[in-house]
Amino acid sequence: MKTLRVPEATVTRLSIYSRFLERLDKNGVTTVSSGEIAEGVGVSPAQVRKDLAYFGEFGTRGVGYNVKDLLKYTLKILGLDQPWSLAIFGAGNLGFALCTYRGFNIRSFHIAGVFDNDPTRIGKKIGNLEVQPLDKFPEIVKSENIRIGVIAVPVSAAQEVADLMVKNGLEAILNFAPVALNVPDHIEIRNVDLSVKLEILTFNLGFRAAQNL
Amino acid sequence: MKTLRVPEATVTRLSIYSRFLERLDKNGVTTVSSGEIAEGVGVSPAQVRKDLAYFGEFGTRGVGYNVKDLLKYTLKILGLDQPWSLAIFGAGNLGFALCTYRGFNIRSFHIAGVFDNDPTRIGKKIGNLEVQPLDKFPEIVKSENIRIGVIAVPVSAAQEVADLMVKNGLEAILNFAPVALNVPDHIEIRNVDLSVKLEILTFNLGFRAAQNL
DNA sequence: ATATATTTGTTATTATTTTCACATTCAGAC
DNA sequence: GTCTGAATGTGAAAATAATAACAAATATAT
Ligand SMILES: NC(=O)c1ccc[n+]([C@@H]2O[C@H](COP(=O)([O-])OP(=O)(O)OC[C@H]3O[C@@H](n4cnc5c(N)ncnc54)[C@H](O)[C@@H]3O)[C@@H](O)[C@H]2O)c1
Ligand SMILES: NC(=O)c1ccc[n+]([C@@H]2O[C@H](COP(=O)([O-])OP(=O)(O)OC[C@H]3O[C@@H](n4cnc5c(N)ncnc54)[C@H](O)[C@@H]3O)[C@@H](O)[C@H]2O)c1
């Protein structure tokens, strides 16, 4: 096994491969080649093999990969062979959608708490979750062993929520607010910006088109 | 002005710069340096200048950039100096959140139609929008001059929705379903995958931590 | 057993992206 | 006017990532 730095793009693709493998497995497919994976997710076969090579040898030359095994390996690499408890801050529209999204549970994520500071929302049910006040956060972090926080509050509140998460020992943050947050180096943080991709589309439709690039 | 290929990462950052500039402008800041932009969005100053250099010279040496002007330029480059009408497919939890999100309107996006195939949802109001049946799509595309479609339906329906969009002449698609869609080359398509970033976090918390990388 | 067709794992090559470093330019002080 | 300090724009260098190419390995057919 290599001890090289793994590019983040490789991890991203690994997540995508694993979801493709899940689908193959559900459809009863037992063997798959790098070419078929590549075709299925829209990358090159060499890329698929290169990505997997960071973590070991999982295939059989002349044959391909065993779907069930490769799926298990990729999930393991991504850390999805164990359950992860999440805390979501902000029980607004996006928070609601995230809480009810079944796709997370399937991949070993479990929403262990939803928090909001709006008194009219606290106590309301989202599925079988109850929206909690902020002061319940510390105890729920402990009791549910939460390591990852999700920020779905307005931009104006995002930094203070991030600070609260850090103060309570969370190790990673997924931020949906379109703002760069300040957190200590040891905190893993990633932003999901729903507008940026939309603006890549308008850029391509406009500027790039005008330049004939 | 250069006629080089612009990296997509540059366009992504441009979108982020422009949002940062919006905030500065709202706060009454009139001048900003590449270093301050860099600080504000979490990249290097050289990166900021290099990104802008793809499109022209916007600053004054020794001084920096005029906030209002640079904001206007970045929006123009991104194609946001004109309104864009969107069609959203899927009036479920995510579709609902997208429809009610004010952040889109602010940046010259306008949701011109929401479509669903569930009879119990058709006719329901989301804000001042009414959920439309699929067969209304062709006429609304024309009347509202829609060029961009958003897919917020389950994976199982995503490809057929994409096909419908292509058939009706849409030019770009933003896809929230976690699956690679097949569309003709001339269609701009980007996926937004909310789980992938989460799995980068678990990877970093697990595997990467174990390797001490 | 041997040959053949496949497909992996890996090294070499190429391309892309980021960082660095600095000459150039400008505003303001004196 | 000239000098000084500051920050841009850019070409060269370094780092990173993707692609190509092929030897090694394996299953299957004969
Ligand atoms: N809705 C979307 O489709 C969408 C798209 C892109 C980005 N976003 C971003 O996601 C975030 C949430 O968006 P939304 O549409 O759900 O907004 P929303 O207004 O519907 O919900 C925000 C929620 O956060 C709560 N809140 C505010 N301050 C808080 C605090 N300090 N602690 C805890 N809770 C607090 C509010 O009470 C509210 O319930 C925003 O930053 C938005 O920019 C949303
Ligand atoms: N909710 C989330 O937080 C979340 C997170 C990540 C990804 N996603 C993805 O976004 C998509 C939507 O998620 P959701 O939670 O809103 O699901 P949802 O089930 O709440 O909504 C899906 C909607 O699509 C409609 N639909 C189904 N087939 C259709 C068709 N052919 N044409 C038009 N409408 C159709 C359904 O009637 C329903 O209203 C899914 O692909 C999901 O994987 C959602």
Q: Is the pLDDT of residue A212 over 90?
A: no
CA of B152 to the centre of ligand 2 (A): 5
CATH 3.40.50.720 domain range(s) in chain A: 84-191
Are B52 and B58 contacting, i.e. CB atoms less than 8 angstroms apart?
Answer: yes
Within 7 A of a protein CB, which nucleotides of strand C?
5-11, 16-21, 24-27
pLDDT in tens, B172-186: 999 999 999 999 999
Q: What is the model's pLDDT at position B208?
A: 61
The confidence band for B213, taking pLDDT boundaries of 50, 70 and 90, is very low
Per residue in A37-60, pLDDT tens?
999 999 999 999 999 999 999 999
What is the least distance, in Å, from the CA of B185 to any CA of chain A? 13
Question: In sequence order, which ranges of B78-167 are alpha helices (DSSP H)?
Answer: 93-100, 102-106, 137-144, 155-167
**Average pLDDT of chain A?**
93
Q: What are the residue ranges of CATH 1.10.10.10 in chain B? A: 8-77
Phi then psi for residue B173, to 5 deg, are -135, 135
Tens digit of each residue's pLDDT (9 = 90 or more) over A6-19: 999 999 999 999 99
Confidence bin at B3 (pLDDT 50/70/90):
very low
Which H or E element spans position A72? helix A67-77
Nearest partner of A11 among A134, A188, A185, judged by Cα = A188
- Taking the CA atoms of residue B72, residue B75, residue B79 and residue B83 in that order, the dihedral angle to the nearest 10 degrees is -80
Buried b (16+ CB within 10 A) or exposed e, A37-68: bbbbbebeeebbbebbebbeeebeeeebbbbe
Residue A92: both structure tokens together: 């607004």
pLDDT in tens, B137-183: 999 999 999 999 999 999 999 999 999 999 999 999 999 999 999 99
- Whether the pLDDT of residue A34 is over 50: the answer is yes
Q: Could you tell me which of B144, B172, B10 has the C-alpha nearest to residue B77?
A: B10
A128 contact partners, CB below 8 Å, separation of at least 6: none
CB atoms closer than 10 angstroms to residue A10: 18
Residue A2 has pLDDT above 60, yes or no: no
**Which pLDDT tens digit goes with each residue over B15-71?**
999 999 999 999 999 999 999 999 999 999 999 999 999 999 999 999 999 999 999
- pLDDT, tens digit (0-9, with 9 covering 90-100), for A119-148: 999 999 999 899 999 999 999 999 999 999
Amino acid present at A82: Q
Long-range contacts of A142-147 (CB under 8 A, 24+ apart): A144/A85, A144/A87, A144/A112, A144/A113, A145/A85, A146/A85, A146/A86, A146/A87, A146/A112, A146/A113, A146/A170, A147/A84, A147/A85, A147/A171, A147/A172, A147/B205
For the entire predicted model, the pTM comes to 0.94
In which band, very low, low, confident or very high, does the pLDDT at A106 lie, cut at 50, 70 and 90?
confident
Contact B195 A94 (CB under 8 A): no
pLDDT the model gives residue A97: 96
Confidence of residue A1 (pLDDT cuts 50, 70, 90): very low
CATH topology of domain B8-77: Arc Repressor Mutant, subunit A (1.10.10)
- Is A12:B200 a contact under the CB 8 Å cutoff? yes
CATH hierarchy code of domain A84-191: 3.40.50.720
Residue B207 gets which letter from DSSP? I
Q: CA B48 – C1' D10 distance (Å)?
A: 13
